[in-house]
Structure 1
Amino acid sequence: MSRHTEAETRYQSTRRVTLVGAFTNGALAFLQILGGLLVQSQALIADGLHTLSDLASDFLVVFAARKASAPADQDHPYGHGRIETLTTVLLGLVLLGVALGILIDASNRLMEPETLLAPGPIALLLAATAIIAKETLYRYTVRIAKSISSGMLLANAWHHRSDVLSSVVVLIGIGATLAGFPFMDALAAAIVALMIGLMGARIIWRSASELIDTGIKPEEEKQLLDLVSGIDGVTGVHELRTRHMGNGLLADIHVEVDPRISVSEGHRIAESVAQTLRQTRDDLLEVLVHIDPEDDRAAAPSSHLPSRSELLNKLRLQWQPIPGALPMDEVVLHYLDGHIDIDLHLPLDRFESAADAEKTRGDIIRVSQEIAGIGQVRVLLS
């Protein structure tokens, strides 16, 4: 399945479950708020407002899912997964706003007993109905969220679960009020507000961690490093870095290989590393493999050394007086530990005798090492 097809499938699943939630939340919010007004229950009204915030967040989730499913483009080369993250933060802020409003109203009524509401028995039935409906919606949403690995949808599911818990508190508060404790309805509303606020804060914290590029856990990182270390051709591994992007993960890793292998072999090893990591974690969207000829954390840097064209110009000047040294054939440069090692091929048919070839070979090594930064020089006669 292509990445775009997978994104479209995720969007359709998110859209379906969210529309179910929107219909359920809309009906419940209407019943709770209207019922709360009719039977004089502040806790039930507060719970209805909480449900109404779910309805608003449902539409926000559908919008974000549509945008996040869009394929990568020139302005967003890594895709649009962070839209889900941003929406999750907004969901958390909505929860905090609802919580603050309910808490202020409940606190005012607790401080002024004459404003306390006195709910009727029917409020218990409405609270129980809300509990059953919201718990069913929570379980349905969690199942879909896990099947498509959507953090945003999972956050919305927990929004539903917070509704369940708040409705339980409302049920208890209304029951206690009917039993002769008039302040319990307002107290239940305040407790609901605190629960909503705590849930919102947790959602914001998790999403903020993603926005500031928090990586995977150390034990997960060690597992991946150990896995890569065992791949054929890998001599060392370091600097694994990860960050979350919506429902996926981006990673880059430094892999050490034999410094004298070909570029194509090094590329083949990099492909093997990326493929192995993707097979290990389904959430890996992108893996960038940096091939190192040595552990660049410990070795001397080579950035000060001359480039290939600059060095070859210097070598030509040094080799020009040497019979048979030019033209240069198959010169391979190895930038290692702050110096340059040279491997080159010298055809024997340029010389009248093996002795002449050996003399040229020795002269090339000698004059080449007179250039600053040159390390070992190996000349292959064939």
Structure 2
Amino acid sequence: MDDRLNESTNVTIKSIVINIVLSISKIGAGVFGNSNAMVADGIHSASDIVTSIGVLLGNIIARKPNDEDHNYGHEKAETLVAFVLSLILIYVGFKIGSSSFKLIFNLNDIKTPTILPIIAAIVSILLKEYQFYITIKVANKINSPSLKADAWHHRSDSLSSIGALLGIIGSRLGFKILDPIAGVLVSILVIKVGIDILKTSANELLDYSINKDEEEKIRNIIISVEGVNHITSFKSRKHGPYVYIDLAICVDPNITVYKGHEIAHNVEDKIKESIDNIKGIAVHIDACTMRYNEKKY
């Protein structure tokens, strides 16, 4: 667990440093280069600093061991952080969209930008795509919901910079309305990403089950264990990046208690050998004579 959290912490600290530099550069380029779009984009980058700090706090909490008040550990802190980050993403999306929409009806308020914001936007796109790549790579490797949310926040900032770049170029060519229209389109993309992350994290906080393909794979592993007649019940719930499983299996009623206990242990061991992110398995033994091929589990 420490290794996965260390990887998350390292990539997050790198992101914070990059975002501090980007925020200052973009806001400065926007102010001195007459670009409202670039100022807004710089503020968006500043929000990335806040969310990355949130990921770090989630890592610190998730690292804590089980205690009397949290018998199952603190890994859900990562999911909670992802939930909060999704709300920030949605808020940022609405703010960008609102500001851009107002400018559509006030084109006289838009000044013609200089070349400086264009350079800042191009640099921002390259750096934010780099941040997205390194963050999503680690997030997928360690199965971290909060880091995945942070990665998509980087991608939303890249999209924001693309929108700002198109708007700035359009404004310099005399099409001022392109700036706010691009901002509205970017805001819709940011909001969509935020809603997707919100749905995923909310489901996990509500003990969302694993998907049907994963469940089918585990069921096949269980029924392949010698002594298991069929599966009486199967329940799963996500706990941050990990999964807990509660199941009941049917075994021959004439075997000893020791033998039944051994079969349960074999089921647990085989699942953990095949699936990496299983944290806990509870196996209940039922006595029955029905074989697996006589009843669909």
TM range (shorter): over 0.9
Matching of residue 66 in structure 1 with residue 55 in structure 2: no
Q: Is the 8 A contact 2:163 2:179 kept in 1?
A: no
Secondary structure of 2:247's partner?
A: strand
Matches within 5 A, 1:294-333: 294=288
Secondary structure of 1:80's partner?
A: coil
**AA at the equivalent of 1:69:** R
Cα shift at 1:227: 1.9
Counterparts of 1:119 and 1:70 in 2: how far apart (Å)?
50
Counterparts of 2:213 and 2:76 in 1: how far apart (Å)?
25
Q: Is the 8 A contact 1:99 1:197 kept in 2?
A: yes
Cα shift at 1:208: 0.9
**AA at the equivalent of 1:59:** I
> Partner residue of 2:35?
41
Matching of residue 109 in structure 1 with residue 109 in structure 2: no
Secondary structure of 2:139's partner?
A: helix
Matches within 5 A, 1:1-382: 7-294=1-288
Structure with greater proportional helix content: 2
**AA at the equivalent of 2:69:** D
**AA at the equivalent of 1:107:** F
Secondary structure of 1:213's partner?
A: coil
Cα shift at 1:284: 0.4
Q: Is the 8 A contact 2:22 2:45 kept in 1?
A: yes
Counterparts of 1:187 and 1:29 in 2: how far apart (Å)?
23
Counterparts of 1:240 and 1:117 in 2: how far apart (Å)?
63
> Partner residue of 1:335?
none
Cα shift at 1:189: 2.1
Going from structure 1 to structure 2, the CA distance change for 1:179 and 1:295 (only over 3 Å counts) comes to farther
**AA at the equivalent of 2:48:** D
**AA at the equivalent of 2:171:** T
Q: Which has the higher Rg, Structure 1 or Structure 2?
A: 1
Counterparts of 2:206 and 2:146 in 1: how far apart (Å)?
17
> Partner residue of 2:295?
none
Gaps of 5+ in 1: 1-6, 297-382
Secondary structure of 1:287's partner?
A: strand
Cα shift at 1:131: 0.7
Counterparts of 1:113 and 1:74 in 2: how far apart (Å)?
60
Q: Tell me how many residue pairs correspond in the alignment.
A: 290
Going from structure 1 to structure 2, the CA distance change for 1:277 and 1:254 (only over 3 Å counts) comes to same
**AA at the equivalent of 1:127:** A
Q: Is the 8 A contact 1:46 1:189 kept in 2?
A: no
Cα shift at 1:135: 1.1
Q: Is the 8 A contact 2:251 2:289 kept in 1?
A: no
Q: Is the 8 A contact 1:236 1:256 kept in 2?
A: yes
Identity across matched positions, percent: 31
Counterparts of 1:50 and 1:291 in 2: how far apart (Å)?
54
Cα shift at 1:295: 8.4
Cα shift at 1:115: 1.8
Q: Is the 8 A contact 1:49 1:98 kept in 2?
A: no
Q: Is the 8 A contact 1:118 1:177 kept in 2?
A: yes
| 1:52-102 deviations in Å (ceiling 9; x for gaps) | 111100111101111011111111111111111010010011111112222
Give the root-mean-square deviation of aligned CA atoms.
1.5
**AA at the equivalent of 2:135:** T
| 1:9-51 deviations in Å (ceiling 9; x for gaps) | 2222221111100000111011111211221212212211211
Gaps of 5+ in 2: 291-297
**AA at the equivalent of 2:41:** D
